[in-house]
Structures are given as C-alpha cells and as structure tokens.
Amino acid sequence: MARNGLELINQQGGSTINTSKSSSSSQSPRARCPAPFLSKTYDLLEEGAAADDRDGKRIVSWNGEGTGFVVWSPAEFSELLLPKYFKHNNFSSFIRQLNTYGFKKTSSKIWEFKHEKFKKGYRNMLTEISRKKCEPSVFPAYLKASDQDQRSDQSTVMMSGGNGMDQEDSNRVLLLKENKNLRRERVELQMEIAQFKALEMKLLDCLARYMGDSDNNKFFTKTIIRNAITSRLYYTSRTQRPSLYSRISPLGDPGTSVVPELDDWLQNGKKVGVAELRRIVKDLRKRKRFTQALEVSEWMNRKGICIFSPIEHAVQLDLIGRVQGFLSAESYFNNLKDQDKTEKTYGALLNCYVRQCQTEKSLSHMQKMKEMGFASSALNYNDMMCLYTNVGQHEKVPDVLTEMKENNVSPDNFSYRICINSYGVRSDLEGMERILKEMECQPHIVMDWNTYSVVANFYIKAGLPHKAIDALKKLEEKLDEKDGLAYNHLISLYAKLGKKDEVLRIWGLEKSACNRCINRDFIGMLESLVRLGELEEAEKVMKEWESSGNCYDFRVPNTVIVGYSEKGLHEKAEAMLGELMEKGKATTPNSWSTVAAGYLHKGEMEKALECLKAAFSLHVENKGWKPNPKLIKGILSWLGDKGSVGDVEAFVSTLRTVIPLNRQMYHALIKAHIRGGKEVHELLHRMRIDEIDEDNETKTILGMRQT
C-alpha cells in the first residue's frame, strides 16, 4: 500500500492531495481525468490485442462480451507488454494495482479480470473508477523512529492542513518526508563513493611511485587498496560514525540477543531508520542468524518504528517458522488482519509447512490459496515439489509440474530442475531427458549451469560417462566468469569421472576468470585432487592458497590432511598439523584423532597415544567432539598391557574430561595395577560405587593375580 501511495503522490506532481469530504463539490479538469493506470491498461488492451491478432498469438485480449479482459500468457505479458506500458515486468504488482481499483478475478482457471465500469468501447467510463480508500492501519507511517519525531511530524501536519487534514493526508506528508530523507541520504552516499574512489586513485599513485612501475607491483598495490575498501562495513560516513549495523554484526553467536544493542542505540538519542533495519534483517537472514533477525523484526514492530505491510508480515512469518516452528507461525498468521492476509503471507506460511514436512497442512493450505487466487506464481508450486522431494515422494513431483502448466503458471528454472531431480533419483533417465528437452525449448527459460550439473551427476551415477561429459560441456558453456561456485561444481564432477586433466584445466580457467579464488574454491579443488589421489598436485594448490592472502580456514589444510590419512601417510598428516600449531594456527581434535586412528591401525601405539593427547588438549567442553570408541578401546587395551600405573591413571584422568568413566577404563587400571603388583580392592570398590558390574572379562583380568 505504501508503494501505491507513493505512485499516487508522483502522479500528482509530488503535491499533497486533500481528499477530505469537506472540500468543494466542484471538480477540477484534472480530477475528471481517469487514473493513469487505468488509461494505460485500456491502451494496452486495445493496442496489445490488435498486435496479437496480427501475429496470430494471443497474450492478452478483451473477453468475448467485452466486459473484462484475459491474460492468456502471464510470462509473455510480463516480459513483452508490462515494460512497454508500466516500466516494470512484475505481474503480481499489476494484479495488486487492479485490486486497488476494484477489479475482480472471475476464474480460478484463467487470468480473467472484470470491473463494471471497465468495458470495451467505453473509455469514458474510466473516470468513474476510483481507487479503494485505505484504512489508516494499513497505510504505513514510515517515520515513527522516535516519540520526538512523531510529535514533530504531527505538528507539521497541523501546520500544513489544520484540523481538517485527515489521517490519509497525514500519512502522505510522512511519506513525502521519508522520500526527502532518502534522497538526501542517496546524495550523501554518492558523494562518499566519489571521495573514496578519489582516495583510492591517490593511494594507488603513491604506492606505484614507491614500489616502482612494473605491472606486478601495480597489480599488487591495486589489489591491496580494493581489498581494504571492500572490507569496510556497508555504512560509513565522513566522520567515521559507527552505524547500528556495526554494533549488531559482531554479535555472531546465535545465542546472543541483539535487543540490548537496539535499546541502547535508541536510549542514546540516535535515530534509527526503517530502511536500515530492513537491511539488517535481510543481512542476518542471509547469514542464517535467524533468531537475531527475528529479534530485530519484532523490535521494529514493538517500538512502532513502522506499521508492518504484508511483506514485513511475510518476513516475520518466515523467521517465526524457522526459529519457533510452524505452530507459532500458524498462530501469528491467524492473528493477522484480513488486509494483511495476501499472497505474500499465505506463501510464507506455506513455506513454513513445507520446510518442516507438514504434508497435510501444506496440501490444505495450498488448496485454500488456489481458491483465493493466491497460487499464481511458480514459487508456490515449487514449494509443493520441494515438499514431495523432502518426504521422498518423488513420483508426485511431475504431477505438480503438469498442474502448473494447466493453471497457466509458467514453470521457472527451479521448477524444471526439481522435476529433473525427481526422475533422476528414480533412475528414470528417459523421463529426465524428456523434461530437460522441454525445458531447453521454453522461450522464457534461460538455461543455467545448475541444471546441467544435476543432469551430469545422474549420468555419472548411472555409469554413463559419455552422456555425463556432453552435459558437462553444456555446463561449461553456461559458466559465468564471476561465479566460482559453477567452476567448483564442474571441477568436482570431472573428478568423479577421474578426469585429472580436465580438473586442472577448469581450475586454470577459474583462476583466470575470477578476480580471486576464495577459500571455498580452494577446498573444492583440493577435495577433487584428493579424490583423484593426486596429492602432489594438492600440495601445489596448498602453496597457492598460502600465498593467496586469504584468511586462515582450517578446512583448507584439513582436506589435504584427510587425503594423507586415507593414503596411509600419517607422518605427513601429523607433520602438517604440527607445523600449523607451531605457527599458532587453529587445528581440531577430530583431525588429530584421525591421525591417531591411522597410527593405531599400523600398530604404532606410542604415536597414536601422542596424537590422541594432542586431540584432548584441543577439546572444549560441550563442543560436540567425541573420540572414536575403537581408538579409545585400542589405546586403553595397549596401556593396560604395556603401560605403567602412572601412565594409565594419567590417561584415564584426561579421558574422563571427554567421556564418562566406563568398564574399559577400569579394566586398563586393574591390569596395570596387577602387573605392577598393587592391590585392586579399591578399584573394585570404586567400580561398584560407579554402578559398573564385573563381567567375564573383569573376572579373566582378576584371574591374572593367581598366575
């Protein structure tokens, strides 16, 4: 609704329109003109339908009686006609505009709309169609950042319109003020960008003079400056003023509440804008910090910073579903006002049901959306296909695709990709190829690398390398030069085929095409080389990573460590771990434990024990790592047979910090005491206290005292 209000303001030249009923009954010539949206829609039908008749293909036309119109192909309508008349290609936005003028969708099968005053050949009746009046509760006042601002805004309204100005005029004044503030912020940001670009050039010149004029030095200095600039927070002012985002972003622990920071920001007299809070919520969702994103969203609503539109409610619904579950999301949805229950909020609740595999609720909710005319986008049908995929009912996915097409909803890339996957997991390669061919023939579909990646993977699993290579060649044709993820998939798939040369070739292309390779790219390449058993090549890539300037990420060297361990090169794996620790770099107990298990398998028990001790030294309580039971059993058995009482007691004491005391530990202690000629009565008494019964092995060990 806010957007509609802004469009109305812009259409009237930016001036505030007095819609009070107490105004003069006489109408100006401008007031008798039809709304621009209505005129454009009428022109679209007259000209678009005529063009369709000439081409022999229907996109949109009047119905047979001329009392309404039908959009026969929403995809082509959005792509070809909407940009020409309305400067956007959003079909949903067009429908919302129709709704605001009282148009009704008359059929659940086709996109037919009617209005009693909108008829073929009766353009003069357009002036009798008016926009629905908005309730104040759904026309958001975007500048309610603080009580002081609100009082100031109210006084502005009183000065500009007196007591006769109604709530709608007040909201328009607030929107005008918000527009003005946003324009000012935009100018300031553009000035900042220009200043930083100038600063970058100056710094480049200084460094270039200092380091010489070689191409390598120029590239090196330019890289340093660009990395420094792009690492800045998204908001910076000329006075280096901290932003609200800079306060919230470091709170990375999901268990840390952001509410105290928000309250403190407001209590210190600092203003907070709706746009900034929306950016924060969007960023937190992108980084999967859903709990904190929900806290920000709820705080916005609770403080009255803005009145939620259906879009904000949809975001809130999604976050509630992720954090609290679908029942809480359902309750939130049921408490919404009727005007907020739109295709956005209905779609958000459907996504909550699908994500938590609530089949019955998803089906019931989707049926209701169809009846209300809200199931009008590929997104809703994609949700249903995802549901069947998640619950393992892959055979039902193609039926959803068929239903989409029957309801004149154009499938998108994801729709086809889910369907291709449904055939692939059932080993129905003919069905997969049929859907792929259909997808390639669709004029509104731009084929992407993801689809060919899925197809190639199924060919590889089916043992059809030639078909897989054909799909990979098509994948390579769709590569985006800046998309490292696409290169990573291609490298991984060639590795599965055992194609070392292709893996190295694509890696070279990726390094040339992308500005720089990030840690994710190095991990993918190293995993592929380890899969191929090419550890020497992996060592070369490791050196590239070490000189890349990327931040340290243990997953990169750990990929090579795992490769060494799988090949039985435990000394190399241990040496790499030791070098990392000497440099002060983080390692993990699991990596040391993996190397220890390798030494145990080779019978090198002393080395296995030392690596396991290193793992214990890195263990942090309640962080999830548990040592391999077979490894622990082997070490305890060896210590019981070979170690001294002191060695066993020291190891058991350390082990107890990781796992509870058990029978194996007591057996090792008892064996060591017996070999050392010491009494075991106290150990047996402690076993009983710990409620650990003696078994046959215990009796066998105790029998050693008599031999």
Query: Between the CA of residue 475 and those of 451, 489, 505, what are the distances in Å?
Result: 8, 10, 15
Q: Name the β-bridge partners of 68.
A: 114
Percentages helix, strand, coil for the chain (3-state, rounded to 5) are 70, 0, 30
pLDDT at 93: 80
Residue 150 has pLDDT above 60, yes or no: no
CB under 8 Å to 528, separation ≥6 — which residues?
491, 492, 494, 495, 503
Q: Which of 542, 584, 582 is nearest to 562 (CA)?
A: 542
How far apart, in whole angstroms, are the C-alpha atoms of residue 403 and residue 409? Answer: 9
23-42: pLDDT as tens digits: 333 344 444 688 888 988 99
**Residue 75, burial from CB neighbour count under 10 angstroms (0-12, 13-18, 19+):** buried
pLDDT tens digits for range 201-258: 666 666 655 555 444 554 555 455 445 444 433 333 344 456 787 778 776 666 788 8
What pTM was estimated for this model as a whole?
Answer: 0.61
**CA 340 to CA 137: how far, in whole Å?**
10
CATH level 2 (architecture), domain 36-128: Orthogonal Bundle (1.10)
Is the CB of residue 493 less than 8 Å from the CB of residue 506?
no
> Average pLDDT for residues 350-370, to the nearest whole number?
94
Q: So where are the chain's domains?
A: 36-128, 447-551, 558-623, 626-706
Q: Residue 22's pLDDT is what?
A: 36
- Mapped onto helix, strand or coil, the DSSP state of residue 462 is coil
b or e along 508-534 (b: 16 or more beta carbons within 10 Å of the residue's beta carbon)? ebbeeebeebeeebbbbbbbbbbebeb
Q: Which has the minimum average pLDDT: 157-171, 394-408, 539-553?
A: 157-171
Spatial neighbors of 260 by CB under 8 A, at least 6 apart, are none
pLDDT at 180: 65
What value does the mean pLDDT take over residues 644-648?
89
Arithmetic mean of pLDDT over the chain: 81
Q: At 91, is the pLDDT very low, low, confident or very high (cuts 50, 70, 90)?
A: confident
Share of the chain above pLDDT 90, in %: 43
CB atoms within 10 A of CB 456: 27
Predicted pLDDT of residue 164: 41
* pLDDT at residue 174 in the model: 57
pLDDT in tens, 578-616: 999 888 888 999 999 999 999 999 999 999 999 998 888
Per-residue pLDDT at 417 exceeds 90: yes
Q: Largest Cα–Cα distance in the chain?
A: 119
474 pLDDT higher than 90 = yes
Q: What is the pLDDT of residue 178?
A: 61
**Which pairs with CB-CB distance under 8 Å and at least 24 residues apart come from 238-245?**
238/192, 238/195, 243/276, 244/270, 244/272, 244/276, 244/277, 244/280, 245/276, 245/279, 245/280, 245/283
CA–CA dist 499, 493 (Å, integer): 9
**Looking at residues 147-166, what average pLDDT do you find?**
39
Q: Is the distance from CB of 164 to CB of 20 less than 8 angstroms?
A: yes
CATH class of 447-551: mainly alpha
Q: Tell me what pLDDT residue 27 has.
A: 43
Backbone angles phi and psi of 134, in degrees to 5: -95, 140
* DSSP secondary structure of 566-610: HTT-HHHHHHHHHHHHHTT----HHHHHHHHHHHHHHT-HHHHHH
Name the 3-class secondary structure at 157.
helix
Strand order in the sheet with 111-114: 60-62, 68-71, 111-114, 104-105
Whether the predicted pLDDT of 155 surpasses 70: no
pLDDT for the residue numbered 142: 29
Q: Give the best-scoring range by mean pLDDT among 2-11, 134-143, 633-642.
A: 633-642
End-to-end CA distance of the chain: 91
Instruction: Choose between 133 and 375: higher pLDDT.
Output: 375
Distance CA(55)–CA(71), nearest Å, equals 16
Calculate mean pLDDT across residues 511-538.
93
679 versus 156: the higher-pLDDT residue is 679
Report the C-alpha gap between 612 and 616 in whole angstroms: 6
Q: How many other CB atoms are there within 10 angstroms of residue 307's CB atom?
A: 18
DSSP state of 111: E
Per-residue pLDDT tens digits for 481-514: 778 899 999 999 999 999 999 999 999 999 988 8
Average pLDDT over residues 428-449: 94
